[in-house]
């Protein structure tokens, strides 16, 4: 039940990998990216998980890069046959896929000699023409940026290291602040009064997240917005609402 009216820079995460959809691999990048982008004033407003299917990847990239300020992809830039993200980005932008000399120099740091740069490994130096490289401090196989699309590896520690390389180049708005109030009341009682408060504070996003612990039912009422004073006004209204319903509210820390 959220209808924020403030303007934010938006982003989308596209998780590329049939292994994620099959359940064999658990994604660990979404939470990290959402938190780090929020600190830059960039709201991750959508995340998609798509298979290693070229037509799907190309269509998703073209839709998302037109819809969001930033698009981040994870997965599919390794040395195997199903690592097809770079080729799909090139196709989406209508450019050639080329062996990149600088990418080769970056990758060469991993090996004792040129002989170790097998064709499979050199596949990781294939970059869409016109893209700028993103350094990979962990394994040296670079990612790249094509306009507003950033292409990262899927392995969390590598993805996070690559993101930290480029984070200062991202232009965002005001960081989104959060407050939370815990109400030991069921959502069926909270729903109506909470909807009234949302109408009073349309510039603050209010979410209700139910829980059940030790036979106690309740909800964490989370507020998000860019204005600290306005956020506190909303929190005060929610605390009073909870008291009026016969329960003492509990403020909860928000990271």
Q: Give mean pLDDT, residues 208-234.
A: 90
pLDDT score, position 114: 87
At residue 44, does pLDDT exceed 80?
yes
Q: 9-169 and 177-252 share one CATH topology?
A: no
Domain borders along the chain are 9-169, 177-252
Q: How confident is the model at residue 156 (pLDDT cuts 50, 70, 90)?
A: very high
Q: Are 96 and 129 a contacting pair, CB within 8 Å?
A: yes
Question: What is the domain class of 9-169 according to CATH?
Answer: alpha beta
Give long-range contacts, CB 8 A cutoff, 24+ apart: 111-120. Answer: 118/79, 120/79, 120/80
At residue 170, does pLDDT exceed 50?
yes
Share above pLDDT 70 across residues of the chain, in percent, rounded to a whole number: 96
Q: How confident is the model at residue 50 (pLDDT cuts 50, 70, 90)?
A: very high
Share above pLDDT 90 across residues of the chain, in percent, rounded to a whole number: 75
pLDDT score, position 1: 36
Q: Which CATH architecture has domain 177-252?
A: 2-Layer Sandwich (3.30)
Provide the token pair at 144: 């790249």
pLDDT score, position 5: 42
Backbone CA torsion sign across 76, 17, 12, 172:
negative
């Amino acid at each position: 039940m959220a209808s924020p009216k403030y303007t934010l820079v938006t982003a989308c995460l596209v998780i590329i990998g049939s292994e994620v959809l099959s359940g064999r691999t658990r994604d660990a990048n979404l939470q990290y990216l959402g938190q780090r982008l929020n600190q830059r004033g960039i709201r991750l407003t959508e995340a998609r998980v798509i298979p290693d299917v070229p037509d799907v990847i190309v269509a998703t990239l073209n839709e998302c890069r037109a819809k969001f300020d930033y698009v981040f992809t994870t997965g599919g830039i390794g040395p195997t046959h199903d690592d097809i993200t770079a080729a799909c980005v090139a196709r989406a932008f209508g450019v050639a896929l080329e062996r990149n000399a600088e990418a080769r120099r970056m990758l060469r740091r991993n090996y004792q000699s040129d002989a170790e740069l097998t064709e499979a490994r050199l596949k990781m130096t294939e970059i869409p023409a016109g893209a700028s490289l993103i350094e990979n401090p962990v394994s040296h196989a670079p990612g790249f940026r094509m306009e507003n699309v950033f292409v990262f590896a899927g392995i969390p520690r590598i993805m996070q290291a690559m993101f930290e390389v480029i984070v200062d180049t991202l232009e965002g708005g005001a960081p989104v602040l959060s407050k939370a109030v815990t109400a030991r009341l069921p959502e069926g009682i909270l729903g109506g009064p909470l909807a009234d408060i949302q109408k009073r504070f349309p510039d603050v996003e209010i979410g209700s997240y139910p829980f059940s612990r030790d036979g106690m039912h309740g909800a964490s009422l989370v507020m998000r917005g860019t204005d600290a004073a306005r956020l506190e006004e909303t929190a005060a209204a929610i605390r009073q609402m909870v008291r009026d319903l016969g329960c003492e509210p509990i403020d909860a820390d928000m990271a």
